[in-house]
Chains A and B, each alone.
Chain A
Amino acid sequence: MLNCKKVKKLLSRYLDGEMDEATSRELKAHLEGCVSCARELSGLNAVKNALAAKERKALPEDYLVCRLKERLHSAEEVAPKWQWLPDMGNLSRRLIPVPVAVIAVSLAFLSATLGEFDKVDIVDNYLFQDNLSRAELSILEESNVTLDSATRIVFGINGNQWR
């Protein structure tokens, strides 16, 4: 048998249709004979209706998609998917180590060849740098490797034998 205290705790569940049929019947029977619980139910129902009738907000259909794109781009949060050529973007990033490795091997070979000279000064660094093709230079640039660092790498590989 349900008393008022138990009924009041169950009222929201009853109001929201989340109650099993047997308890619902029992509660309904209690409400028919209890003014206090019936009033409580009526008050809760009024609140539920007021919330259901609350104004609804809306955004223009494409507005949020545009703002998200802008934000992802500006914050460099762009995942490869939100780009015009998503697969190319991914591919290019994955392939960056390949030209870098090729350049490193070429530079090592070049430096080994140049290493045959007994005396090398700073001018040789410039000569060495001048020997890089435009394509190699652009790959270095895209890989964020400066010309100086590339030169240092070559000298490092050869144990700074030129110094």
Chain B
Amino acid sequence: MNEDNKLIGQFLAGDIKGFEMLVKKYQNRTLNIVYSLVGNDRDSEDIVQEVFIKAYHGLGGFRGSAQFSTWLYRISVNTTYDFLRKRRHTTVHEDVSKAKAVIDESSELSLSAREKKEEVQKALDSIPFHYRSAVVLKDIEGLGYADIARALGCSIGTVESRIYRARQLLREKLSDPGGR
């Protein structure tokens, strides 16, 4: 039994510490996937919270046939997709007073390096969601094609073509994708 399954068992047996450990283990990985899909800190934080609320309520039905991480990433992608779909139909009023806890590790970089990283995010934001989610799970989280297919609920062939298409589109958007 792997570590995640032990923690899930602990949680299902009534010990909340098991769930807390899972949250701490996966919060930043989930955050980085969600951030890359949604493109801003405040929404990412709320979505990540929503993802773990869903995981908290859904763990009782987790069958363990897939890895916990793949299951969690599937929730993350679907929750982000729902959020973006709803946002398209509503006017966004950002609450600027709301505290932001996300630590931006790029804040210490030079202006040009920061601009470069922002350009990558802007390019990601501009491509269709199904391409974006595949390439993010591959190049940001480093999942294999089989796990991406499970997380996205599609075939490995579809994952392959989405990743290829996403990289093609990103190459067109980025002025110098190899530059730092």
- Identify the A interface with B (CB < 8 A): 9, 11-13, 16, 18, 43-65, 67-68, 71-72, 77, 79-82, 86-87
Contacts and interface: CB of A to CB of B under 8 A. Distances in A.
A48 B161 contact: no
Given A67-B49, A71-B49, A81 B171 contact: no
Identify which of B44, B120, B144, B180 gathers the most chain A CB atoms within 10 Å of its CB.
B120
A49 B116 CA distance: 13
Interface string B29-66: 00110011000010011001100110011000000000
Contacts of B109: 55
The 6 closest A-B pairs by CB, nearest first: A46-B178, A55-B106, A51-B139, A46-B177, A12-B164, A47-B167
Interface stretch (B1-9, B16-24, B71-79, B84-92): B16-24
B145 A16 contact: yes
Contacts of A52: 139-140
A64 B41 CA distance: 14
A47 B11 contact: no
A59 B101 CA distance: 6
A18 B167 CA distance: 16
A44 B103 contact: no
A16 B138 contact: yes
A41 to B, nearest CB: 10
Interface string B151-180: 000000000110110011011001011101
